[in-house]
């Protein structure tokens, strides 16, 4: 709803507070890591690993991402189905970048590796969406 001055700020802050609290109460925790390797300007490999957390993660849930999900509650399938949105999201979390370049006899060879170190995420599945928030 709009405030008297026409702003939506109050209702949005209440919605985000409810969303964050619902993540804390009944969400599952997963460990996710991602690695993307480019050699000589060509994608060499891309690896996404997802596993249930064996023990409770410490910290607070950060800004959540809402992805379209299906009734199977399988995080791996959900992330693969929404890979572009998830990759853009983890870029905002911060990736470790390693670049190596070598020039021999006027031939340039380069390798770039982007890595999301293993990070704990709270994941809450609803009927047709998954709410994913990193824990920091």
Domain that holds residue 39: 28-134
Q: In terms of pTM, does the model score above 0.85?
A: no
Domain assignment present for residue 3? The answer is no
Domain assignment present for residue 18? The answer is no
Q: Residue 19 contacts by C-beta under 8 Å, 6 or more apart in sequence? A: 64, 131
How many domains does one find in the chain?
A: 1
Domain assignment present for residue 49? The answer is yes
Please tell me the predicted confidence (pLDDT) of residue 112: 95
Q: How many CB atoms lie within 10 A of CB 93?
A: 16
Residue whose pair of structure tokens reads 């920091």 in the numeric block: 136
Work out the pLDDT band at 136, boundaries 50, 70, 90: confident
Q: What is the pLDDT of residues 34-72, one digit of tens each?
A: 999 999 989 999 999 999 999 999 999 999 999 998 767
């Amino acid at each position: 709803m709009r405030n008297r001055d026409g702003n939506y700020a109050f209702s949005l802050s209440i919605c985000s507070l409810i969303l964050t609290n619902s993540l804390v109460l009944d969400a599952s925790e997963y460990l996710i890591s991602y690695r993307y390797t480019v050699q000589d300007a060509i994608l060499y490999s891309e690896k996404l690993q997802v596993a249930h957390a064996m023990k409770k993660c410490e910290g607070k849930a950060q800004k959540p991402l809402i992805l379209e999900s299906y009734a199977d509650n399988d995080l791996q399938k959900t992330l693969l189905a929404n890979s572009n949105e998830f990759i853009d999201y983890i870029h905002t979390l911060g990736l470790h970048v390693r670049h190596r370049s070598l020039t021999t006899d006027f031939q340039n060879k380069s390798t770039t590796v982007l890595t999301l170190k293993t990070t704990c995420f709270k994941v809450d599945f609803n009927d047709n969406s998954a709410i994913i928030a990193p824990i920091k």
